[in-house]
Chain A
Amino acid sequence: MSAIAPGVPNPAVRLREARARLNAIDRRASLALRWLCFAGGAIVLLAMIAVAYEVINGASQAIGKFGPGFLIHKTWNPVVTPRSPGVFGALSLIYGTLITSVFALILATALGVAIAIYLAMLAPKPVAAVVGPLVELLAAVPSIVIGFIGIIVIAPFSQSTLEPALHTVLGWIPLVGNLFGPVPQSGLSLFTAALVLTIMVVPIISALCRDMFLTVPRELQEGAEALGATRWEVIRGVVLPTTTSGIVAACVLGFGRATGEAIAVAQVIGGVNDLSASLFNPGNSLASAIAIQFGSPDSALHTSALYYCGVVVFVIGLVVNLLARQIAAGFRTRMALG
């Protein structure tokens, strides 16, 4: 028994006190971490609310002046005269956004799904291990660079080759032919913008679809093969039907990405706020109008109208993303049940 100096508590008590202190620290630290993490989540929520508020707030002047009519009027004239503060209607921009995105989506869906089929089911393993990452790298190329090459390479090529060919083949068809009108001098056009968007959307769709195709149970595919189905019949009869909603969700996400792209589109679309049906004419999209005009507005109303365009892009993005979530959730439940 060692002598205990008077005034110094015995070791058992000291240990108990130390443990209590540590517990108190632990409790407080756990609580602090909990609140810190909650703050992280709260920042995300508040940031999105603030984005919505600021953009709508910026648009309030234009919303008050033009109301919903903004969406259906095609005159976009920022010039301020003593008689008029400028007239703004976004129809041509909405048309430009939708027609380029839809066209890009059609091309990108065909290409993206085909690439995904190849990577998930047909390619030999070593080939897929190289080609898969390469296609994903396509998504990493910055939009400013794609737009730059769009101006220098893609626009002249589509003006000299693709557009005349499409005009000859499709231009004569009633109604649809209007989309493929005569080819003007410049290659900066809605069509070129759609091509550029296609390059940006293909990797998104192909990556999402490939991951989904890989989740289709092997037994289902082998069952079909055992019944004598060819590779394509397995894909068409088993793989595509099981993943339809997932493919649709991927395409919807790709569409959302296309509608919001500003930079690459602004570089190649021509920047003309005119409504013309033909894809080969220059035009403008909502996002690219903001990119081109927001920096040097003619008036406060002009800025506000551009914010209004921002609201429209924002709402399109919102709807598209919620839609994709909904469809994808349906896909997951079906896979879980199946």
Chain B
Amino acid sequence: MSAIPDPSFSLAPSGNLRRRMRVSRAVQGSTIAAAGLAVVVLAILVGYVAIKGIGVISWSFLTGGTLPPLTGQAGGMMPALLGSLEIGLIATLIAVPVGILTAIYLSEFAGPRMNAVVRTMLDLMNGLPTIIAGIFLFALLVATTHEDSAYAAGLALSIVMTPLVTRASLEALNRVPATLREAADALGVSSWRTILGVILPSASGAILTATILAIARALGETAPLLFTVAVFGPKIQVNPLHGVPSIPFEIWTLVEGGYAGALRQAWGMAFVLVVTILLLNVGARLLLRRSQRKRGL
């Protein structure tokens, strides 16, 4: 018996379905709220640093030397800026070669057992609390030589950077199409030429992106510096065998005292640090998108 539907029957959800849809909408609303909250927190963090810090920034602040917390004046950040760059450079020079070589080892050479062992170690290194990297280098180099040094801090930061570089490089190497390698093999190209001339270049975009992100991460790290380059002061020092001032350590010291002038200096430095790190992150993202588009063509 086919019945013509009752035209007065409403298609609007009713009863149980209405309740279910209300629940669904409520959940959807709360996920939007959660995402909104995260964005608002980011805006507060960055906005607050910008509001407090931008007024401090001036030519004399960027080029001057840091003043002790008690003077109450906003000194400058040039020594800390140079020191941070130097430590970051040392860490990069260690972490990038080690990271890329390890990634090539894992993707090209290592047997399944070594692969599992090294990958586990990389995961553990990635999860290693950065303060542990700091006290490790303190025990290894600072306690034995009784002197802070920029290279000890660079080594500590390289422990933070290496797993980041390795993991991203490994992913990039694994994404290189097998046809490229087979073509090289078919032409009788030796393995080192294939790796250095074919595989590595086609992964270079992703590796560069990972390196930039790792540098951005390292520049903001404080814990590895606390006991390896605890130097504070207005003097420009760049000898890597001795301690150098650094932005994160200066902020840490300035904030500890809580004096108004010191806080002004700290806001200025925090602003420069945050802007640098955010620019590096955005830049890395754009770079990655470009290299992906190139590969897509």
**A contacts, CB < 8 Å to B:** 23, 26-27, 29-30, 32-34, 36-41, 43-45, 47-48, 50-51, 54-55, 57-58, 110-111, 114-115, 117-119, 122-123, 131, 133-135, 137-138, 140-149, 151-153, 199, 202-203, 206, 230-233, 235, 253, 256-257, 259-263, 267, 287, 290-291, 294-295, 306-307, 310, 313-314, 317-318, 320-322, 325
Contacts and interface: CB of A to CB of B under 8 A. Distances in A.
Contacts of B252: 144, 263
A291 B129 CA distance: 12
B251 interface: yes
Contact of B109 (A34, A45, A294, A313): A34
Interface of B: 20-21, 23-24, 27-28, 30-35, 37-39, 41-42, 44-46, 48-49, 97-102, 104-106, 108-110, 114, 117-118, 120-133, 135-136, 138-140, 159, 162-163, 166, 190-193, 195-196, 216-217, 219-223, 226-227, 230, 248, 251-252, 255, 263, 266, 270, 273-274, 277-278, 281, 285
B31 A117 contact: yes
Contact of A138 (B38, B217, B227): B38
Contacts of A55: 132, 135-136, 139
A131 B39 contact: yes
Contact of A37 (B104, B123, B221): B104
Given A145-B273, A262-B130, A135 B42 contact: yes
Contacts of A140: 216-217, 220, 277-278, 281
B118 A143 contact: no
B224 to A, nearest CB: 10
A32 B192 CA distance: 9
A49 B27 CA distance: 47
B98 A43 contact: yes
B127 A44 contact: no
Secondary structure type dominating chain A contacts: helix
Contacts, number: 259
A50 B221 CA distance: 21
Contact of B49 (A30, A47, A149, A230): A149
Contacts of B21: 230
A236 B7 CA distance: 35
Closest 10 interchain pairs by CB?
Answer: A142-B220, A260-B129, A40-B101, A37-B105, A114-B34, A26-B190, A232-B24, A230-B24, A262-B131, A118-B31
Given A114-B34, A142-B248, A263-B222, A51 B24 contact: no
A131 B42 CA distance: 11
A142 B222 contact: yes
B285 A133 contact: yes
Given A48-B121, A142-B222, 18 more contacts: A26-B192, A33-B192, A36-B101, A37-B101, A55-B139, A111-B38, A142-B220, A144-B251, A144-B273, A149-B44, A151-B255, A206-B38, A230-B24, A263-B222, A287-B223, A310-B132, A313-B131, A320-B127
Contacts of A33: 104, 191-192, 195-196
A41 B100 CA distance: 10
Contacts of A145: 45, 49, 220, 251, 270, 273-274
B23 A148 contact: no
Contacts of B159: 47, 51
A143 B220 contact: yes
A325 B122 CA distance: 12
B289 to A, nearest CB: 11
A141 B124 contact: no
B230 A148 contact: no
Most buried by B among A55, A140, A144, A321: A144
Contacts of A199: 41, 45
Contacts of A151: 255
Contacts of A306: 135
16 contacts: A23-B190, A26-B192, A37-B108, A40-B98, A40-B101, A41-B102, A44-B102, A44-B166, A232-B23, A232-B24, A232-B28, A295-B227, A314-B129, A317-B124, A320-B127, A322-B124
